[in-house]
Structure 1
Amino acid sequence: MFGNSKDKLQTKYNKLMQESFDLSTVNRKKSDQKRAEAEEIGRQLDELEKQT
């Protein structure tokens, strides 16, 4: 049940982290925003992990 949503969250997390990295040398503010979004997804992943 959680596998599918966990996979989607992991994919989204990875995408946001990559975007943050790509923006880090161009636009630090946007990079920080992407990182914050990724960290929120990371917290959601942790919660799912605790439930299983």
Structure 2
Amino acid sequence: MLGLFKKKTESEKLQEKYKSLLEKAHKISHSNRSESDKLMAEAEEIAKKIESLLKK
């Protein structure tokens, strides 16, 4: 019950967004490779942000 109202940290939010982008990129890679590459690049930027937050 206590975890029900727990706020997510910035890194948790970014990790969810990263995972979502990777899933979208994988699904779309079968039909539109250039769009998949854009999503992968965006996911890599988020991964860098996560890494910098974890180093602090």
Question: By the TM > 0.5 criterion, same fold?
Answer: yes
RMSD over aligned Cα, in angstroms?
A: 0.9
Q: Which runs of 5+ in 2 are unaligned?
A: 1-7
Please list every run of 5 or more consecutive structure 1 residues that lacks an aligned counterpart in the other structure. Answer: none
Q: How does 1:2-21 map to 2 (within 5 A)?
A: 4-21=9-26
1:1-52 to structure 2, matched below 5 A, reads 4-51=9-56
User: Percent identity of the aligned residues?
Assistant: 39
Moved over 2 A (4+): none
Specify which structure has the higher proportion of helix. 1
Give me the TM-score of the superposition, normalised by structure 2.
0.84
- Alignment length, in residue pairs? 49
